[in-house]
A and B are shown apart, each in its own frame.
Chain A
Amino acid sequence: MSVRLENVTVAFQKNVKALDDVSFTIPSGVYGLLGENGAGKTTLMRVLATLLKPSSGDVLMNHLVYRENNYPSIQKKIGYLPQELSLYPNLTVRECLEYLGGLSGIPKDECKKRLDYYLEKTSLEEHQKKKMKQLSGGMKRRVGLIQALLNEPEFLIVDEPTTGLDPEERIRIRNLLVEFAVGRTVLFSTHVVEDLAATCSQLTVLKKGKMLYSGSVKELLKRAEGHTWICRMEEEAQVRSLEQKYRVSSKQIQEDGMTVRVISPEKPDVPCSPAKVTLEDAYIYVSNFQ
């Protein structure tokens, strides 16, 4: 299964473009979608989930073109977790998922089996009798993820699935997505770079509706090589001056001063040494200097 976007543009009134001429291919496995808030990630996911038609351009699932008459066949293959999802407050977790499973046309016995499996995988087993209104944000997110997985879609679209989860849960969910992606396609959108570093080998970076990068994580890291520096500063004033001149990705206070991580196309004019590039550095480099 692969999904291809060809020159996709989504324009709203007053010529505001949420997506501007975006083209890339999503192959099997976990594929990352990275971008700041307002980059167009959710719009792109809505297009891929058939909720929004692009103003121009085409989307193809294998060889099936995204057109109204093909939507029923495409929708059968899709599982979607929207960015914000708050479901039936008076239903219990299990009832809610059974209801949505029924709406997907999953036979009752099969639905029960899948539910037991995913409730266990997402540590929601003990909360299955709780009403939806009693759940925390992270639990609701996990319920949302289960409903997306329940019809075992060939193409899973998840919009910030790890929001509100504690570190252990995030790892668990990331691993679940990686397991699920075997023989399937998972589009994983987030602005948490760490999540993508742990799950995908390919990704697309969006900024203000435009595609900044599409390709492998390795290649993205390569692009930022030689542009990431660690500078040791002794005084706060020096750090402030450095921040005005360069893009500082992190600061760490230590006993003998402060360690500052700088992303810059040129070597900063302060004492510094090259650093090992992380995906976060590469993302900042691509979004600010390319």
Chain B
Amino acid sequence: MKEIKISLPPYKMICALFFILILAIVRGISSIKEIGPTIDSYITLLTLVLCADTCYQEIPGGGWEILAIKPGKQQRLTILKRFAVQYVFLICTAAAGYGLFYLIQQPYMRENELYHFATAMAATAASIVLFGALPVLISKITGSLWGGIGAAAALWFFLISSGALKLPLFLQIFAFGGMEMGDGDLRWIYGKVTALVLGAICIGAVGNFGRHLGKKRMKGKR
């Protein structure tokens, strides 16, 4: 599949694997319950950097000029495929990261292992969907790759901070595994549903590759 070669060049895969390996080494955990939330919040940072150039990569080489005249349906389809490829890779990376944490940190509290793994992957997937699409949309609107990464990173930073606890529960995207969530408390799902909905909206709003004619603004008829 050509989208894999386009969206996931070797340097991106290597960076992702190193990121998750280093995280598993330096981030200490004592209980298996801590792995999921850690993976969820940090893989999001990796996601927003990795996915940001899904469409933007066509601008420097001038590829947008030929893609913009391709049928709109084909453009949307190829963008969806690029998202899908990156999402699958990131979920696999998250799963690998979970395994690395398990092996390297050797958490001593181990119960319901499969349940914790499944919920962690589900929660992480929702974060990946939102934070994969958001920087792409912002980059497309602003015309700046770093603008997209920066804005999405700022939002991520706020959402993992204690400030996010003041938000309504459905906006607490990273409530999964938070201190205020007791065992068996599934209210974190609201935030993840919001992440999925917002992610889908962002993907829909990205639409096509767009036209990128630089900073010269046009006058007159638009």
Contact = CB atoms under 8 A, between A and B. Distances in A.
Contacts of A9: 220
A91 B6 contact: yes
Interface of chain B, main secondary structure: loop
9 contacts: A49-B69, A50-B69, A55-B218, A85-B61, A85-B62, A85-B65, A90-B10, A91-B5, A103-B70
A90 B220 contact: no
B217 A13 contact: yes
B78 A103 contact: yes
Interface residues of B, number: 29
A82 to B, nearest CB: 4
B66 interface: yes
B75 interface: yes
Contacts of A54: 221
Interface string A47-82: 001111111100000000000000010011010111
Given A11-B219, A90-B5, A95-B2, A105 B71 contact: yes
B216 A51 contact: no
A192 interface: no
Interface string B190-222: 000000000000000000000101001111111
A56 B71 contact: no
A80 B213 CA distance: 16
Given A86-B62, A103-B78, A12 B217 contact: yes
Interface of A: 9-13, 15-16, 46, 49-56, 72, 75-76, 78, 80-91, 95, 98-100, 102-105, 147-148
Contacts of A89: 9
A51 B65 contact: yes
A51 B213 contact: yes
A83 B61 CA distance: 10
Contact of A53 (B10, B217, B222): B222
B62 A82 contact: yes
B142 interface: no
Contacts of B78: 103
Contact of B71 (A10, A11, A75): A75
B48 to A, nearest CB: 22
A188 to B, nearest CB: 17
B68 interface: yes
Contact of B62 (A13, A56, A84, A102): A84
A50 B218 CA distance: 15
Contacts of A147: 66
A49 B68 CA distance: 9
Interface in B34-67: 60-63, 65-67
B6 A12 contact: no
A90 B12 CA distance: 12
Nearest to A95: B2
A-B pairs, 5 with minimum CB distance: A55-B220, A86-B61, A82-B65, A12-B216, A11-B219
